[in-house]
Amino acid sequence: MRKALLILLWLIVTVPLGAQTTHRDSVLTQARYLKSIYRTDEAIKLLSSMVQPDAMDEEVLSELADCHFQSGDYESVSGTYLLLSSLAPGSILYKIRLMQASYRLKAYPQSIQTGREVLQLDSIPAVVSYIGDAFRQMEQADSALWYYRKALGMKPVNESVVAKAVNILIMREDYDGAVAIMEPFLAVDPDNATIAPLKGLAL
């Protein structure tokens, strides 16, 4: 009798949990499909119905943040990835997304801070360049140039970063410095349509 009662109690507890898990997985699958066909508003509505303040589901929140990113709602992206970063402090992806969202919101100091947090976890040239871009937007050319040089030290053949660094140097009339940055790039791609004219201008 006691054994039968225990089995009954186990069924009462586990069956609803199993149903909840099945429903959650079904919602995630449907939301991912909607996102893949760019019906992001519907995906956001569906995922938002799964968000519970007392039980944060990282996978649901991550999908929701990605939908907000796809729809261009960077305020919501920033808030959601900030929450996700607190749930998973070691996640590089969440920090990079937060850095990007902050940049697009023109919250450049926040973008720089988050980018530096990423670099404490991993050396990623694109993140170094992103920090340089944020400093450039804040009109802090020295800091921007420092990060661009660092990014080029990690990945010398990067047309975009070379062009940004060279433009800063040409504006400062540091033509020798501009040529010095361009030479490693042009040694690999001498006829590059962006960098070769800049070398001509510097010369």
Written in H, E and C, the secondary structure of the chain is: CHHHHHHHHHHHHHHHHHHHHHHHHHHHHHHHHHHHCCCHHHHHHHHHCCCECCECCHHHHHHHHHHHHHHCCHHHHHHHHHHHHHHCCCCHHHHHHHHHHHHHCCCHHHHHHHHHHHHHHCCCHHHHHHHHHHHHHCCCHHHHHHHHHHHHHHCCCCHHHHHHHHHHHHHCCCHHHHHHHHHHHHHHCCCCCCHHHHHHHHC
Residues of the chain with pLDDT under 50: 1-19
> At 39, phi and psi to the nearest 5?
-100, 60
Calpha distance 177→16 (Å, rounded): 68
Residue 104 has what pLDDT?
A: 95
Residue 20 has what pLDDT?
A: 58
Spacing of C-alpha 39 from chain mean position: 22
Residue 55 has what pLDDT?
A: 75
Provide CB contacts within 8 A for 141, sequence distance 6+.
135, 168, 171, 172
Residue 53 has what pLDDT?
A: 77
Residue 9 has what pLDDT?
A: 40
